[in-house]
Chain A
Amino acid sequence: DGGITQSPKYLFRKEGQNVTLSCEQNLNHDAMYWYRQDPGQGLRLIYYSQIVNDFQKGDIAEGYSVSREKKESFPLTVTSAQKNPTAFYLCATRSVDNEKLFFGSGTQLSVL
């Protein structure tokens, strides 16, 4: 997974609860991304950040929030407003001079 650590591997959320997924990278990449993957579907972009202290909404940002206080870290919070959170969440990074995306190994979020 090339220096990208996602944790936890599995996460369970109770109704009404906010949960935070961790993504840490040691690749010194500026850009970081969060994707959601549903069974049999493609990757949908939730949020992305091209630089510290800046981030932009992707295609499905509603019910999610992020922060980018450090270059190495881009945590994703799944809020209680996200009514269908069960999915596989993938964090990715990219260097500014390279179009190649590097992915973490993902977090499977399920609802109790």
Chain B
Amino acid sequence: QQQVKQSPQSLIVQKGGISIINCAYENTAFDYFPWYQQFPGKGPALLIAIRPDVSEKKEGRFTISFNKSAKQFSLHIMDSQPGDSATYFCAASQKGNAGNMLTFGGGTRLMVKP
């Protein structure tokens, strides 16, 4: 079974700090790596995504760093805010494989303390 391993399971950060969540994958055929954000009682929503032809993508305070040789990618949240407190999921998919089906990591519960 294709796997995406995510760490840490939970993370506590002070307001204004940097939150870092890491993911590792096994399947070198994966070519799309999104991050989803989920608030309690809600469905996940796409936050940011990257393809393996670039090593970094930034959108506002959110940055994905991608290391193809290490088969790892990470989410950095700069100037973390209490409103960022949520569960974050990394995922990966291979274009054309079973309907571009996403394989999700186990999730990271982030708490940003005021």
- Give CA–CA (A103, B43) in the complex, Å: 5
- State whether A99 touches B43 (Cβ < 8 A): no
Please tell me the number of chain A residues within 8 Å of chain B, measured between CB atoms. Answer: 24
Main SS class of interface, A: strand
**How many angstroms between the C-alpha atoms of A42 and B51 in the bound complex?**
22
Residue A43 at the chain B interface, CB threshold 8 Å: yes
Contact across chains for B43 and A106 when beta carbons are under 8 A apart: yes
In the complex, the answer to whether B107 meets A101 with C-beta atoms within 8 Å is: no
**Are A94 and B1 interface neighbours, CB within 8 A?**
no
Q: Which residues of B contact A73 (CB under 8 A)?
A: none
Instruction: Tell me which residues from 29 to 74 in chain A have a Cβ below 8 Å from any Cβ of chain B.
Output: 31, 33, 40-43, 45, 48, 50, 56, 59
A-B contact pairs, 8 of them (CB 8 A): A31-B100, A40-B109, A42-B104, A90-B43, A100-B49, A101-B44, A103-B45, A105-B42
Chain B residues in the interface with A (C-beta under 8 A): 1, 6, 9, 32, 34, 36, 41-46, 49, 89, 93, 95, 98-102, 104-107, 109
